[in-house]
Amino acid sequence: MTAHLYLINLILIENRSKTIFVNKKIFFLLFIVLISFTEKVHSQSPLDSLEIYNPYSQVDAIRRIINNRLSILSGENKTLINKYALQIENAQKSNSINEETTALIKSGDIFFKSALYNIALNYYMSALEKFELANDPANAAFVEIKIGRAYYFYDLVKLAKEYITKAYQTLIRTNDNELIAYANFAMGTVEDNSEKSRQYFNKALDIQKRIIRIKPNDYNTKENLSAYLNANGQITQALKIAEEINNKWMIVLFLNNIGYAKAFEGKYVEAINIFNRSLKISKAAKLKGLLKNTYVDLSVTYRLMGDWQKSAKYREIAAFIVESLYVEEFSIQTSEMRVKYDTKKKELENELLKKEQIIMKEKIADEKLLNYFLIFTIAGISLTTFLIFFSRKKIKTANKLLDKQKKEINEQKKTLESLNTSLEKSEEKLNIAQATAHLANWEWDLTNGEVSFSKELPHIYGVDEEKIKSNFREIISEIIHPEDREQFKRYFYEDFNEMKDVESEYRIINDNKEKWISAKRIAIRDENRNVTRVFGTVQDITESKKSEEARIQLASQQSFTKQLLKSQEEERKRMAGDLHDSLGQDVLLIKNMAQLALHGENLDPFTIEKLNQINDSTTDIINMVREISFDLRPAHLERLGLTETIISLINRISGTTRINFSHKIDNINNLLPGDAEINFFRIIQEIISNVVKHSDSKNAEINIFKMDNSILVEINDDGKGLKLKTQIETSGGFGLKNILNRVEILNGELIVNSHDSGGTKLIIKIPV
């Protein structure tokens, strides 16, 4: 620039002679050359000029630029990916879990920011597995939030919510404020209730503001603060911090949010300038996913401006980037599979080479030995003949071994060929993957009544495409479930200017089959706040609804079973009290009266005999009442505790059966709450009862152990065996069913190991 100004000033100098005039012409030529050179030096790169190409006629050029210039496996990303791959390999060799998980998470973050979410999930899942094996719940929860975030960006919101909710419950119990803030922020992103979501975001921001005072210059602290400010609507401050720490991914994300808001406020020029800045940053940082979003935002902005040509152009470029993402993700996965294939092949080849070398060494050694024997043939033909025979025998054995090894190698090669065939099939499957989404979008232009929709929409509704175009509201209304038609009318027939952005679920009936549909709608307004267009999506959620109904039914059944068992226990307690306090006392009174009568004078032998019989009978009845009361409600449970009550039960039953019972029982008192103790006792009682009634065993062993976070029950017998499922289905009683129900109520596990030859082992694990 300085050279240009200098030459211009020279040209403008007043020339008063021919020499000066000639110099002026020379300087002018130099000026032209310098301008040409400068323009060549500062010409646009192919990536910067991507928007110049026609997306309909110059498809190959656009694809070549996107694939070559925006690949994640290039530039700084490639360097980092290779660096972390080496760190993972070295950490695995040295068994360093911290170094390995750190490299796995950083690798996942790179692929996440590049919108290759499936590959990012593979790295995050590997890190999660390491933390779970190391029993590190806090770090495991931290990774679960990253997994949830990847699913959220993948539009799998349900899965995202499951992972984030589970992680939140773990992290809020820690003493780490940064993790607590992170957990609240994550919950806010998946919370359906807007008020609760705002509360989560506010809490995260309040905690992070306190942290930033302690660590004002920490990169991660500033990065999190920027994210939480954005979530709370303070996007300008968020952008300022993101620019300060030079986090390009967040800068583009915030710029796009600002630009999108500007576009829908009608400030189209400001929005386009912001999006152009986003384009420049996304291209430089190879943020392919955000670049795609920016092109989509530009498309929407130009569509709002009425420039459909540019809108379609940018939408088409975005589609090329989406295609590139699929191709690159598949290429990376294919490369990983190819590396595994080549590694396995190389290992087999090395193994074969080693075996062949061993065999060749043996052959060479045998041949040398044979030569040595031939040198000393003069020493005796008999000795030489023996040695030759011995050597040939070894060679024959070696050849057989070599043939065997070759056969094994051929089998391994067949296995590798099978793997290669599977790889090729997976490539074919990828080509049809996009046809299974069950998701469609539609747009309704209220200014001219025109309706447009994707090809999947007629398939979801099961209605002809032309019929939907003619009058889509009436056509779809006809197949709406009668109970949902009123809701559908409110959804599609309300006053347009009162229309709001809503989500709805309704049912349709097609070919006598019922489907559940999830619908979302966004209303676009003009500067006078009148609705001009409506955008929406529909999705077939029938399968997920069925799963949800099944879970609700199962929960209802479990709740009913729990209440039923509780009612049974209350009734047993009442009956036990009535037996003890009423019948037991009455029989005891009779016994006492009989004993008093026996002390009377002038009793004849017949009366004495009958009074003794009454006394003995009442004693038997009292004992029977006590046993029934114990079975209905063991009083020992509250007086002596769970451990002694179980031991008392075993000892009592041992005296009434031929089965030899042995036991080893740890002290498990006060590990379970009151209702849970009763359920646990009933489980043991039912199992022992089944052993006595049905096992035909001679010996039985009952062991109860107190573990770190659970109670472990092991019950063994040498009887005829137990087929749990068959006996539950065919049994007329409720014993086995009650055992399973009570184990489920206690959130436990039941494992039955039984053989037709005899013997049964029951293992029950109850968490405490």
Kindly tell me the number of DSSP H helices and DSSP E strands found in the chain: 29, 10
Q: Name the token pair of 172.
A: 């809020």
Average pLDDT, the chain: 78
Evaluate whether 419 touches 441 at the Cβ level (below 8 Å): no
**Alpha carbon separation from 65 to 281, 349, 396, 460 (Å, rounded):** 16, 40, 63, 37
Higher pLDDT, 382 or 530: 530
> What gap in Å lies between CA 187 and CA 171, rounded to an integer?
11
Look up the pTM and report it.
0.41
For every residue of 426-478, which 3-state class applies, written as one string? HHHHHHCHHHHCCEEEEEEECCCCEEEECCHHHHHHCCCHHHHHHCHHHHHHH
Mean pLDDT on 656-662 = 91
pLDDT, tens digit (0-9, with 9 covering 90-100), for 690-748: 888 888 898 999 999 999 899 999 999 988 876 554 454 444 444 677 788 889 888 99
In the chain, the percentage of residues whose pLDDT exceeds 90 is 21
- CATH tag for 641-768 (out of 3.90.850.10, 3.30.565.10, 3.40.50.11780, 3.30.70.580): 3.30.565.10
Q: Name the token pair of 402.
A: 């070599």
Q: Where are the domains of the chain?
A: 2-41, 74-174, 338-434, 437-540, 547-633, 641-768
**Alpha carbon separation from 143 to 110, 115, 166, 227 (Å, rounded):** 15, 18, 11, 18
Length of the chain in terms of residues written: 768
Residue 126 confidence class, pLDDT cut points 50, 70, 90: very high
What pLDDT, on a 0 to 100 scale, did the predictor assign at position 145?
92
What pLDDT, on a 0 to 100 scale, did the predictor assign at position 560?
59
Mean pLDDT on 312-317 = 88
Q: Which residue has the tokens 């009436």?
A: 474
pLDDT, tens digit (0-9, with 9 covering 90-100), for 225-280: 999 999 998 999 999 999 999 998 899 999 999 998 998 899 999 999 999 999 99
Q: Name the token pair of 678.
A: 């009763």
DSSP 354-385: HHHHHHHHHHHHHHHHHHHHHHTGGG-HHHHH
What pLDDT, on a 0 to 100 scale, did the predictor assign at position 666?
94
Higher pLDDT, 231 or 636: 231
What pLDDT, on a 0 to 100 scale, did the predictor assign at position 34?
39
Task: Convert 282-295 to b/e letters by CB count within 10 Å (16 or more is b).
Answer: bbebbbbbbbbbbb
- Which architecture, in CATH terms, is 437-540? 2-Layer Sandwich (3.30)
Evaluate whether 647 touches 663 at the Cβ level (below 8 Å): yes
What pLDDT, on a 0 to 100 scale, did the predictor assign at position 478?
78
Mean pLDDT check: name the lowest of 107-111, 303-307, 416-420, 749-753.
416-420
Burial (0-12, 13-18, 19+ Cβ within 10 Å), 673: exposed
pLDDT, tens digit (0-9, with 9 covering 90-100), for 346-365: 767 777 777 777 877 777 77
DSSP 710-756: EEEEEEEE-SS---HHHHHHH-SSSHHHHHHHHHHHTT-EEEEEE-T
Fold of 74-174: 1.25.40
pLDDT, tens digit (0-9, with 9 covering 90-100), for 478-500: 788 887 877 776 666 666 666 66
What pLDDT, on a 0 to 100 scale, did the predictor assign at position 29?
42
**Alpha carbon separation from 16 to 9, 30, 669 (Å, rounded):** 16, 21, 116
Fold of 547-633: Methane Monooxygenase Hydroxylase; Chain G, domain 1 (1.20.58)
Checking if the pLDDT of 340 tops 70, the result is: no
Grouping H, G, I as helix, E, B as strand and the rest as coil, residue 278 is helix
CB-based contacts of 67: which residues, under 8 Å, 6+ apart? 324, 327, 328
Mean pLDDT check: name the lowest of 147-151, 504-508, 725-729.
725-729
Evaluate whether 171 touches 149 at the Cβ level (below 8 Å): no
The torsion defined by the Cα of 396, 397, 398 and 404, in degrees rounded to 10, comes to 110
Q: Name the token pair of 549.
A: 């109904």
What pLDDT, on a 0 to 100 scale, did the predictor assign at position 576?
53
∠ CA 260-164-155, nearest 5°, is: 45
pLDDT, tens digit (0-9, with 9 covering 90-100), for 23-33: 444 444 444 33
What pLDDT, on a 0 to 100 scale, did the predictor assign at position 721?
73
pLDDT, tens digit (0-9, with 9 covering 90-100), for 366-409: 667 766 766 765 676 666 566 656 666 666 776 777 677 777 77
Residue 468 confidence class, pLDDT cut points 50, 70, 90: confident
> What gap in Å lies between CA 261 and CA 585, rounded to an integer?
83
> What gap in Å lies between CA 272 and CA 266, rounded to an integer?
11
Mean pLDDT on 446-467 = 79
pLDDT, tens digit (0-9, with 9 covering 90-100), for 586-620: 676 686 777 767 777 777 888 877 778 787 778 77
